[in-house]
A and B are shown apart, each in its own frame.
Chain A
């Protein structure tokens, strides 16, 4: 459980200026719809937290723990999510446009219809993740691990899958034309 009372959280959220809660234990917290723009949540523990609809644009979540968190419909535009752990998290319809997710863990995460345009996912772990109908236009997935991931109906035009691990990936109806395959050639 979080080590902040609801009153303290309310107070913090209503202060002017970005929130600084690095390394805080906020597990299980309910921050539904909260304004966390540019918040510094580096290495914070937000496991199981409810952040659905929250606005985390340009927030720093480097190394943060978001295991099993609910981020459905959340705004994560240009957020820095390096090495964050989203295993099993719900990111349905979340907006991750231009966010940086290098080396993040998204094992078994749900990214159904998520907006992952122009994200940087170098060496990201997406094993068994659900990326169906996700928008991956021009996303960089170099050396990403997509083993057994579900990319059904995903849009990958201009995406870079160089050296990605595609074992067992479900590519039914995926739009791959113009993307780069793991060998460096372009899909037709």
Chain B
């Protein structure tokens, strides 16, 4: 109970216990713990590859690619919705700029701009459909997943006769795009792909928005109870549409980074990434029901993903086991998060 006339000594003791409780109740705890655990395991099992700076660069790069999606997905899931089409949007954005460059010689930066507009429009449509039809976003975006993947493959085949478009290093505007999206930043003699810094930057921005802005409060509110939020004047519809456009944006960003890094587009890029992104976000402490979560947690979730994917390679284990691990990790993470949160709540009462 909160309503007591507390005397001084009681309050002082409360302060220490309060700090511990504060730490325990942070949503990121599970993901940070998990990341540390995974790091220790691979440090022991594959020290030569894993503990080197180059090793770090490789697993960070893998983490960054999922992490970029996870940032957008974390904001949307905290806001109470799902976007299962995000993987298909990665494929579509990449194919768009590649086709424009390959078939019509349009410079890649222009092609990327056009792809961005297209992606944002799809995000807008996803959002509007969810709001107007009142169907679960799970369903709407599941439909989008198939529609846009099919569209991507079909149109690409139609216009280019194939499903992969290579040789983009020779395309107009490549060098300019490379600087922004695929260059390496050298630290301590090792090159770290710029994607990692895009990931860190967007995560920091998302965290700031969530915790320090009005819109962030609205996101928590809309996810916690959309009806209650509307009653106090939060523009829930516009907010959710904006969040769908955000996931479409990060899909575009990843697509652009991948197209420039691999100098090619593949219509199947992004496949299954939507599920992995959701897993990373949930590991990071976000509730499936919305209203609670963390962008930093999602970043740690993506980090775990990257460490495991690369760690398995360094440890010489068969890559098939990766999915087994991710599935088990998801369930354990949710159980752990729930356990910690319940302990923290009980302690407060």
Q: Do chains A and B touch in the complex (CB under 8 A)?
A: no
Residues of B within 8 A of A (CB): none
Binding site for B on A (CB under 8 A): none
